[in-house]
């Protein structure tokens, strides 16, 4: 891409931007939470909306000069409500963590009990991990998955009856199976708990109608906008009308100041893209690609966790199947031009800095245009790298092949 003005004004930053562009073009992005936005989204991000303060909401702001910020935020709100069939939306959270914090703040009092998924079983840090602020404010109790990767809803109900949560939280960042939303919500109803779903990872697959929509089952649904949804880096909240005021107050002024209007403009563009028929094809292909990756790696001996995948990612126990730590697997793939992340496995005996596995996702390479044929080749490269013992020659040769394939599927033409 051309950045002539930046090049002249700040060579050091220009070089970093160009380096990152080259890294993205020449390598395979397989971190499950990453994707490539369209040029239109990129353009919206780099607009004069970044100059504007807009505390408040459309029609009721604290500063003047809001005629165009109101237009763009209203576009984002209308589109995202249509996309997910939501009664109310807030597109101001700066991130998924901010969205979750505001979700809790809207409906909980300090000390209230929340039932959320354990981190090593696929839950997110912000779902109550002791190192986070929410865990210092609220009392999180964690539920786990079963050995076959499913959630045992009878066990969950028993636990809910025991701990009497005020909120039952569904959602994950490294769980690969579908949650039964109706069953989950029914349990919450039985114990008188409110419900929240963090759909950050699968928002795009839901928007593209490839996965069921949690919105009708949950009081509050939070998400990021940059994962499978393929928008700019940021967060959002959807909720039932009855929680609308509380959510808006919890985002601003509760947990945030001025919204980032350039990001909100880009969110509006991304939501518009997700409403188009092509996005359904993308979501469907993402699921297909993940399934092919699972099958191809299983064939080669990889231990896939949670009994396989029903979404866009897989988690592999690399210690069990390849005798290598997750961090070596991540490093070797990096050297081969494939970016993934090391990941804990359920109740990981090795801990988060040196975990037993890796998480691999296909949203970005699906955006790039990869289909079943290419995924089979990619699975071969991954398996070869895992068996390479870190041999630099083998990894360099895979990297060369990766580069050739990437050239055939440019991200930005
Ligand atoms: N960091 C994100 C992920 O990789 O899943 C979640 O916040």
Q: How far apart are the first and last CA of the chain?
A: 9
| Ligand 1 pocket residue status of 123, Cβ below 6 Å | no
For ligand 1, atom 2, the nearest C-alpha belongs to 33
Using the mean position of ligand 1's atoms as its centre, give its distance from the Cα of residue 96 in Å.
9
173 in ligand 1 pocket by Cβ < 6 Å?
A: yes
Beta strands in 68-218 (DSSP E): 88-90, 113-117, 139-143, 167-171, 194-198
pTM above 0.95, yes or no: yes
Q: At what angle do helices 326-335 and 372-386 cross, to 10 degrees?
A: 120
Tell me whether residue 233 is one of the annotated catalytic residues: yes
Residue among 57, 95, 55, 98 nearest 77 (CA): 57
Other C-beta atoms closer than 10 Å to the C-beta of 321 total 18
- In 3D space, the residue among 231, 264, 266, 271 whose CA is nearest the CA of residue 44 turns out to be 266
Let me know: does 206 contact 84? Beta carbons within 8 Å: yes
Alpha-carbon distance values, 167 to 86, 97, 362 (Å): 20, 17, 32
Per the annotation, the verdict on 198 as an active-site residue is yes
Residue 352 has a pLDDT of 87
Residue to substitute in 35, 172, 201 for testing ligand 1 pocket (most ligand atoms within 8 angstroms of CB): 201
- pLDDT (tens place) for every residue of the chain, 413 residues total: 999 999 999 999 999 999 999 999 999 999 999 999 999 999 999 999 999 999 999 999 999 999 999 999 999 999 999 999 999 999 999 999 999 999 999 999 999 999 999 999 999 999 999 999 999 999 999 999 999 999 999 999 999 999 999 999 999 999 999 999 999 999 999 999 999 999 999 999 999 999 999 999 999 999 999 999 999 999 999 999 999 999 999 999 999 999 999 999 999 999 999 999 999 999 999 999 999 999 999 999 999 999 999 999 999 999 999 999 999 999 999 999 999 999 999 999 998 899 999 999 999 999 999 999 999 999 999 999 999 999 999 999 999 999 999 999 999 98
Q: Which of 167, 169, 193, 163 is nearest to 181 (CA)?
A: 169
Closest to 220 measured CA to CA, from 192, 248, 201: 248
Is 224 a residue of the active site? yes
Q: Is 69 in the pocket of ligand 1 (CB under 6 A)?
A: no
Give catalytic status of residue 148 as yes or no.
no
CB 333 within 8 A of CB 28: no
| Ligand 1 atom at minimal distance to the Cα of residue 97 | 7
The alpha carbon of residue 166 and the mean position of all alpha carbons in its chain are separated, in whole angstroms, by: 25
Active site (annotated) includes residue 53: yes
Phi, psi of 220 (to 5 degrees): -135, 140
- Per-residue pLDDT, 351: 86
Of 79, 230, 233, 291, the active-site residue reads 233
Kindly state if the Cβ of 96 falls inside 6 Å of ligand 1.
yes
| DSSP class of 219 | S
∠ CA 342-347-353, rounded to 5°: 35
């Amino acid at each position: 891409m051309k950045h002539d003005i930046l090049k002249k004004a700040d060579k050091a930053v220009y070089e970093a931007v160009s380096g990152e562009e080259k890294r993205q073009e020449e390598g395979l992005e397989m971190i499950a939470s990453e994707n490539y936005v369209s040029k239109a989204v990129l353009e919206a991000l780099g607009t004069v909306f970044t100059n504007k303060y807009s505390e408040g909401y459309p029609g009721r702001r604290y500063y003047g000069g809001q005629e165009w910020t109101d237009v763009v935020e209203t576009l984002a709100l209308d589109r995202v409500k249509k996309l997910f069939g939501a009664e109310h939306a807030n597109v101001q959270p700066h991130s998924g963590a901010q969205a979750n914090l505001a979700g809790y703040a809207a409906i909980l009092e300090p000390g209230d009990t929340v039932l959320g998924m354990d981190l090593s079983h696929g839950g997110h840090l912000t779902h109550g991990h002791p190192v986070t602020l929410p865990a210092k404010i609220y009392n999180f109790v964690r539920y786990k998955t079963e050995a076959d990767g499913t959630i045992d809803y009878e066990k969950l109900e028993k636990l809910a009856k025991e701990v009497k949560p005020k909120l039952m939280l569904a959602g994950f960042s490294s769980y690969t199976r579908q949650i039964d939303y109706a069953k989950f919500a029914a349990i919450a109803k039985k114990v008188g708990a409110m419900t929240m779903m963090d759909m950050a990872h699968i928002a795009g697959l839901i928007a593209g109608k490839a996965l069921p929509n949690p919105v009708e089952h949950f009081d509050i649904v939070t998400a990021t906008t940059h994962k499978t949804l393929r928008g700019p880096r940021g967060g959002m909240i959807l909720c039932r009308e009855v929680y609308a005021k509380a959510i808006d107050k919890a985002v601003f002024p509760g947990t945030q100041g001025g919204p980032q209007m350039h990001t909100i403009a880009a969110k509006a563009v991304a939501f518009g893209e997700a409403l188009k028929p092509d996005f359904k094809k993308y979501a469907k292909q993402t699921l297909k690609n993940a399934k092919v990756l699972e099958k191809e790696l299983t064939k080669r001996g990889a231990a896939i966790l949670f009994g396989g995948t029903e979404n866009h990612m897989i988690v592999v126990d690399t210690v069990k199947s390849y005798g290598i730590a997750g961090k070596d697997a991540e490093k070797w793939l990096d050297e081969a031009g494939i970016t993934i992340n090391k990941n804990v496995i359920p109740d990981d005996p090795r801990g988060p800095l040196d975990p037993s596995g890796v998480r691999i996702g296909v949203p970005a390479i699906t955006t790039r245009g990869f289909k079943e044929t290419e995924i089979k080749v990619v699975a071969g490269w991954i398996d070869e790298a895992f068996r390479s013992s870190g041999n630099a020659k083998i990894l360099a040769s895979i990297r060369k092949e990766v580069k050739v394939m990437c050239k055939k599927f440019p991200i930005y033409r």
